[in-house]
Amino acid sequence: MKVLEKYFLPSDYFREFHSITPQYLKDRGIKAVITDLDNTLVGYDEPDANESVLKWFKMMNENGIKVTIVSNGSRNRVGNFCDPHDIEYIFRARKPLGSAYKKAVAMMDENKDETVMIGDQLMTDVFGANRVGLKSVLVLPVKSKDGWATIVNRKIERILMNYFDRKGLIQWGD
Q: Identify which of 118, 112, 102 has the alpha carbon closest to the alpha carbon of residue 56.
A: 118
pLDDT for res 150: 72
pTM of the model: 0.91
- Selection from 41, 39, 2 nearest residue 18 by Cα: 41
Output the pLDDT for position 146: 65
Q: Helix, strand, coil: what percent of the chain each, to 5?
A: 45, 15, 40
| Strands (E) located in the chain | 12-14, 32-35, 66-70, 88-90, 115-119, 135-139
pLDDT at 173 over 50: no
What is the average pLDDT across 108-118?
97
Average pLDDT over residues 6-21: 93
Given a cut of 70, whether residue 148 has pLDDT beyond it is no
Q: Which domains does the chain have, with CATH numbers?
A: 2-166 (3.40.50.1000)
Query: Is 70 exceeded by the pLDDT of residue 38?
Result: yes
For the chain, the average pLDDT equals: 92
Among the listed residues 97, 98, 118, 121, the one whose alpha carbon sits nearest the alpha carbon of residue 28:
118
- Residue 99 pLDDT greater than 50, yes or no: yes
